[in-house]
Amino acid sequence: MTDDRQSPSLAGLACPIPLSDYPTVQLAHGGGGRLSQMLIEGMFAKAFANPVLETLHDGAVLGFDGDRLAFSTDSFVIRPLFFPGGDIGSLAIHGTVNDVAMCGARPLAVSAGFILEEGFPMDDLWRIVQSMGKAAEEAQVTIATGDTKVVDRGKGDGVYINTTGIGVIPQGVEISPRRAQPGDVILLSGEIAVHGIAIMSVREGLEFETELETDSAALHELVDVVLERAGSRVHVLRDPTRGGVASALNEIAAQAGVGMRLSEQAIPVGEQVRGACEILGFDPLYVANEGKFLAIVDRQVADAVLEIMRQHPLGRDAAIIGEVVEDHPKQVFMRSRIGGLRIVDMLSGEQLPRIC
């Protein structure tokens, strides 16, 4: 070993992801499940170690002049670029607006970074940009700054978009995964797995007939309503995107050191989504959502929060799906439809369609 490698500089530290296991990056490292978690916690959080990052929430909370700012970034590499009910542009706005909202903040502004592939049709880019502008207008956020890079033909996938958002957290709002505590109630704002299945229905090689459209939507208004009603009694907010509801709840359970108990019967899943999942061998609990969130709240306000969510168009199918418990810390259990009990684990790898 050379002196250089023994030096305490970052470059000299051994790679924390065991090379024997994963010498190269796998798709699942970005899938929102356990491999993503390994990469984030094992490599990024270690290398960039600081107290803000350590919370590993959807966004960071920064103190600024007596106020608290929420700050979050997300990159969008979705394929196909246009899908039922949306496109990469609207998704890029909704995704980041939601990440900011999940910190309990009112989103103010977002940035937009485009990585374009040489040869990409200008018409398609225009459609994406228009849709992005419309989504931002509807969400009442300003696209305040941006950046454009073009890569050689064949070195990109048409368009990648990165958006970063900031927002202000109102006084009295205190959202953190660590605040989940035994006795709390877990609410879900609507039917799950809609986005993931809608995308899959138009993916090359898997086209199947469905009327499903993505649920992609900006959730901050609904979050606002909930926070206005229940304030600091709302303990955790999380939008279960990649990895689905199961992975999001597992992350929260692990961070708070609590157990969770869900009821399969109570989890809203639409008929079309259930049908597609049955055929493909997918569990809707692991399929991505882009317009739903989980709220973990004090039991005393749970019914009131549910009622107020249901009055909002984006929350009309909201449901209480479970509770936080003291037992089996860091594990999520679910009572099945027929009354059995099983573990709901974090997504491992990607969900792959089965043989039979």
Partner 1 sequence: MRYVDEYRNEAEATRFVQALEGVVTRPWSLMEICGGQTHTLMKSGIDQMFPESVTMIHGPGCPVCVTPLELIDRALVIARRPEVIFTSFGDMLRVPGSTTDLLSVKSEGGDVRIVYSPLDAVKLAQQNPDREVVFFAVGFETTAPANAMAVWRANELGLENFSILCSHVLVPPAMEALLGAPDNRVHGFLAAGHVCTVMGYWEYDPIAEKYQIPITVTGFEPLDLLQGAYMTLKALEEGRWGVENQYTRSVSKEGNRPAQKLLGEVFEVCDRKWRGIGEIPGSGYRLRPELRQYDAELRFDVGEIVAQEAPECIAGEILKGQKKPHECSAYGTKCTPEHPLGAPMVSSEGACAAYYLYARHE
Using CB under 8 A as the criterion, which residues of the chain lie in contact with partner 1 when the complex forms? 21, 24-28, 34-35, 38, 205-206, 271, 274-275, 278, 281, 331, 335-343, 345, 348-349, 352-356
Q: Distances in Å between the alpha carbon of 128 and those of 84, 95, 290? A: 14, 15, 17
Measured from the CB atom, the residue of 223 and 273 that comes closer to partner 1 is: 273
Distance in Å, CB of 337 to partner 1, minimum: 4
Measured from the CB atom, the residue of 28 and 314 that comes closer to partner 1 is: 28
Reported as half-sphere exposure (CB side, CA atoms, 13 A), residue 78 has a value of 30
Task: Let me know: does 94 contact 222? Beta carbons within 8 Å.
Answer: no
User: Going by DSSP bridges, is the β-strand pair 67-76/159-169 parallel, antiparallel, or unpaired?
Assistant: antiparallel
Distance in Å, CB of 36 to partner 1, minimum: 11
Which parts of the chain fold into alpha helices (H)?
Answer: 3-6, 34-39, 45-47, 51-54, 88-101, 122-139, 194-200, 220-230, 244-256, 271-280, 299-310
Measured from the CB atom, the residue of 1 and 356 that comes closer to partner 1 is: 356
d(CA 338, CA 332): 18
What residue type is 272 in one-letter code?
Answer: Q
Distance in Å, CB of 234 to partner 1, minimum: 31
Q: Distances in Å between the alpha carbon of 310 and those of 32, 235, 299, 307? A: 28, 19, 17, 5
Measured from the CB atom, the residue of 35 and 237 that comes closer to partner 1 is: 35
SS3 label, residue 234: strand
Measured from the CB atom, the residue of 57 and 242 that comes closer to partner 1 is: 242
19-24 long-range contacts, Cβ below 8 Å, gap at least 24? none
Largest Cα–Cα distance of the chain, in whole Å? 65
Distance in Å, CB of 331 to partner 1, minimum: 8
Measured from the CB atom, the residue of 122 and 341 that comes closer to partner 1 is: 341
Listed in sequence order, the residues at least 6 apart from 182 whose beta carbon sits closer than 8 Å to its beta carbon are: 258, 259, 324, 325, 326
Measured from the CB atom, the residue of 14 and 356 that comes closer to partner 1 is: 356
Task: Let me know: does 331 contact 343? Beta carbons within 8 Å.
Answer: yes
